[in-house]
Structure 1
């Protein structure tokens, strides 16, 4: 996992035109974070020991260190509320976080649809809360960005000749960076993102937006929530960009916890999250300020695995669409693939609906 963190952080920092000294320092710090996160053996012991650290994994939305710094105040408050240490694992790719979860190096995590779905159906996790934002909407939208000046400036230009353009997109596990744009925009126009563009950059939403703003890509997938944050952090670069497409509403991310933790502990986590930022007075003001700096969150709602049903539906629709448009050696192979997709989807629904 540590090697992956170092490998992915260099291009991200390069987008911000950092000095080599900062790049080396960032890589070294990321390596140390990985060592700390993996220091405790992968077992269920931490779930039963009241003094073992709770290892919190953060979905990579921007820079690894920015995400870590954003979450640390809330996790410090969580540590005090739970009466036990909470350590942070912040990485720069979905792949690195997924590997950490597979190795049981993560006890609790902030994840969006597809990754949360996989952890619940395959990795002994359960949903305890879902985030809410100040705009009051129950979700956010995937977007497609281009520069305001210089082709392409319209969605039609992108769709008419995708082979002419350089694409910056999210990883295949990213709901707004890959799954939804592929499902709702590109496949309906007979375009496969991975093969039809001239070249591609794969990274976080911050990385993809910077790639287009800096002329290293022509079009990028992104989302409304992260682009708001990007506008605050990179106002000059954001001014060069425009949105040429938006998706249907996507449900907000979830907080998941390992099933091995006692029910009482899970209830304490859920209670802490759902009450966070609700108190009056200075303490509540401080918590609300923490939430606002944390991707402009308004707070958390109590949730269970059923909150992932929309994510399961999206993943199912994408898999089925890919199967229907792929080339097959014969009809039997195609039907076998479709049957596996239907069976897998049915199994996911059964897991999500059981409580």
Structure 2
């Protein structure tokens, strides 16, 4: 993995900006920016290049774009200090925070102003499969395209709401199950290579722009509850001066003429400040999923099962307490 990261970084585009017009962090002359693989790197590069070029100009640092083939590549890159900051989904951000020394500093906002997005299950428009019930009843005859295991909308959210809550394992119930990026899954469904795939509404909007004829072949058979918008994560051990430059850029990008057009191409509005507490609902979801798996595991010794459930319940209680505390803060501030 480490060697592959090095090869990908070496091959990535290097966006060198002017040192004029931006504060300069002496400790970091350049930054490696990881971008999750929601679609082909060619499509991603086209919409990301103007943003990264502006970041280079404004911070006075060279920005190296790292388009990894999977989410794990970026997480591992951050773990080994080969990726300095990254755009993640919430699930992959959780892995980066817990295992790779990451820290959330900003959150994306949809161009519509929405505070989140939705996981989808899609089938071909001509398919007789029209609902989750249809899919589960016919699963043994279907091919299913699941998402990257570190994807929030492609894996974690449908894994809980569609499969864990129905007490089934997506890896076992289908004739065939495979994993791919959002774009790959959607195109596989559109081309009738698989029967059902995970997707999300933002990627659907993007596909309607990049391949409208393919998007027209899809129908949505399930939509999730709202998922918090994606976070931006930096390495916690970056120099404070570098963090300040990055934060300043993200919090002010969109103020100058033309910058909102660049954000619109990324399907975003201006960023908002955030922190690791953004992950609390995702952590809760992950624990609910684990609890369902343990509770339904007939192979576990009953005493082991009860011990694991007790531990998971304690973790869930701690999360719920923290979430309640955060909800009380705005009320207290308003009352003051």
Task: Identify the TM-score tier after normalising by the shorter chain.
Answer: 0.7 to 0.9
> Paired residue for 1:126, among 103, 125, 129?
103
Are residues 1:68 and 2:45 paired? yes
Structure 2 counterpart of 1:313, from 284, 306, 311: 284
Instruction: Tell me the residue number matched to 1:207.
Output: 184
> 1:33 is matched with which residue: 8, 26, 49?
8
Alpha-carbon deviation of 1:36?
Answer: 5.1
TM-score (norm. length: structure 2): 0.85
| Deviation at residue 344 of structure 1 after TM alignment | 6.2
Q: 1:129 to 1:68 in 2, by over 3 A?
A: same
Structure 2: distance between partners of 1:3 and 1:223: 32
**Given the alignment of the two structures, is residue 242 of structure 1 paired with residue 219 of structure 2, yes or no?**
yes
Relative to 1, partners in 2 of residues 1:171 and 1:343: Cα closer, same or farther, differing over 3 Å? Answer: farther
1:1-355 aligned within 5 A: 1=1, 33-35=8-10, 49-279=26-256, 284=257, 286-294=258-266, 296-341=267-312
| Aligned counterpart, 2:20 | none
With over 3 angstroms needed to count, the CA separation of the structure-2 counterparts of 1:266 and 1:3, relative to structure 1, is closer
* More displaced 10-residue stretch of structure 1: 204-213 or 88-97: 88-97
Q: Does the Cα contact within 8 Å between 1:145 and 1:241 map onto a contact in 2?
A: yes
State the superposition RMSD in angstroms.
Answer: 2.7
Alignment length, in residue pairs?
A: 314
TM-score, reference length from structure 1: 0.81
**Within 2, Cα distance between the matches of 1:258 and 1:190?**
37
Displacement of 1:77 in angstroms is: 1.0
CA distance in 2, matches of 1:239, 1:197: 25
SS at match of 2:270: strand
Shift in CA distance, 187/250, structure 1 to aligned 2, threshold 3 Å: same
Partner residue, 1:43: none
* Distance in 2 (alpha carbons) for counterparts of 1:119 and 1:150: 38
Q: Relative to 1, partners in 2 of residues 1:319 and 1:299: Cα closer, same or farther, differing over 3 Å?
A: same
Q: Is the 8 A contact 2:78 2:101 kept in 1?
A: no
Name structure 2 gaps, 5 residues minimum.
13-24, 327-336
